[in-house]
Amino acid sequence: MIVGERKPLAEIAELLEPFRKILVLGCGTCVTVCLAGGEKEAAETASALAVLRKKAGKEAEIDTQTMVRQCEYEFIDEDKDKLDNYDAILSLACGVGVQTMTTRLPEKIIMPGLNTTFMGYPLEQGVWTENCLGCGDCELGLTMGICPITRCSKSMMNGPCGGSQEEKCEVSKDVDCAWHLIYERLLKLGMAGRMAVIQPPKNWATSHHGGPRTSVREDVRLENGK
């Protein structure tokens, strides 16, 4: 899923400073699951913001709503009428949602309420961890399910660097060394021989380094984009 963290309230207040009628709009999918921008967080953000504005002597009218998904036109269109009559919308969706909303509703002002942090999964209650950078050419088949691009701090393709010690990465004792994990896993699977195969330079053009990406599936495309 996409993981995010709510922006600090002070930053949100600054973004919304010029506006009086504000809608805090939660998103019902990824950011609800990662407890950053769902219905509950929208309500909390709205009341905290209201207090702050009142203190500042600049009272605001703040409502909250939650959309099923802010990253698809279909859901935006469904709720569109409920979004009128606001000076600004604080979207608690990820950056994808904020932009999809902006594209679909160009007449509205949509402000980001979250910092979109990464694609990952919940490791345990309250802890999320990054495990895919969307490089566009998945290497997991080589490393048997552990991503060297994302989970190795240096995106190494050919084994652990000299900073790997006691299973931890040199950047932090809190980060596992991905290559230690890969090594152990290959060993367990009887595939340690793979460590000796030189992986050639990666083609980063399939990743964001090739420019913003668009994915087209001609077989499921409708005419006129409808």
Per CB under 8 A, does 178 bind another protein? no
Q: With residue 104 as reference, give the H or E element that holds it.
A: helix 95-104
103 to 142: interface string for ligand SF4, x by CB under 6 A: -----------------------------xxxx--xxx--
The strand pair at 127-132 and 110-112 is best described as unpaired
d(CA 5, CA 117): 7
Q: Is 27 in the site for ligand SF4 (CB under 6 A)?
A: no
Nearer to another protein by Cβ, of 45 and 143: the residue is 143
Query: How far apart (Å, rounded) are the C-alpha atoms in residues 124 and 215?
Result: 33
Minimum CB distance to ligand SF4, residue 36 (Å):
21
Long-range CB contacts (< 8 A, 24+ apart) of 174-181?
176/151, 177/152, 178/146, 178/147, 178/148, 178/150, 178/151, 178/152, 179/148, 179/152, 181/146, 181/151
> Hey, what are 144's tokens?
């048997």
**C-beta of residue 164 within 8 angstroms of C-beta of residue 177:** yes
Pick 103 or 165: Cβ nearer another protein: 165
**Per-residue x/- mask for ligand SF4, residues 142 to 181, rule CB under 6 A?**
-----x-xx-xxx-x---xx-xx----xxx-----xxx--
Indicate whether 31 belongs to the interface with ligand SF4 (CB under 6 A).
no
Among another protein, ligand SF4, none, the one that 183 touches (CB under a kind-dependent 5 to 8 A) is another protein
- Any contact of residue 119 with another protein (CB under 8 A)? no
CA 135 – CA 154 distance, rounded (Å):
14
Task: Residue 178: name its binding partner from another protein, ligand SF4, none (Cβ under 5 to 8 Å by kind).
Answer: ligand SF4
By CB under 6 A, name the binding residues for ligand SF4: 132-135, 138-140, 147, 149-150, 152-154, 156, 160-161, 163-164, 169-171, 177-179
